[in-house]
Amino acid sequence: EHMRSHTPSRALWMKALDLASYCLTMAEPDTLPLDRIAEAVADIDNDRVVDDGRFADSAIPTACPLSEDAETHPLWTPLGADVFWQGSVYDQDSSLVIALDDPLAVFNDVG
């Protein structure tokens, strides 16, 4: 809702995509084919999830905390496998991934 309602935020956080040009070239800045999503997204692995500890120092854990108390462990975000997103896409040859930076998550980890 915020992005829809606030033009300055859209200009700051969003990028234009020339879809007609993408359809011709299948390559535009900050895009890639869906079958390469694991190359661009740090918490998405190729074929299967590999819990290798790469987010061990992250402020938000990648595994559900043992405690079920939402007050002491309110956030966690699981690792994912690219096949999860690819499996539901009918035409993978023309599919498109737009990878966005997440500066707030980086700030959360630094803080």
pLDDT in tens, 25-67: 888 888 888 888 898 888 899 999 999 998 888 878 888 877 6
Residue with tokens 């079958």: 35
Token readout for 47 is 């074929």
Q: What is the pLDDT of residues 68-107, one digit of tens each?
A: 666 665 678 889 999 988 888 888 877 877 766 666 666 6
pTM of the model: 0.67
Listed by start position, the domains of the chain span 2-110
Helix and strand numbers, DSSP H then E, in the chain: 6, 4
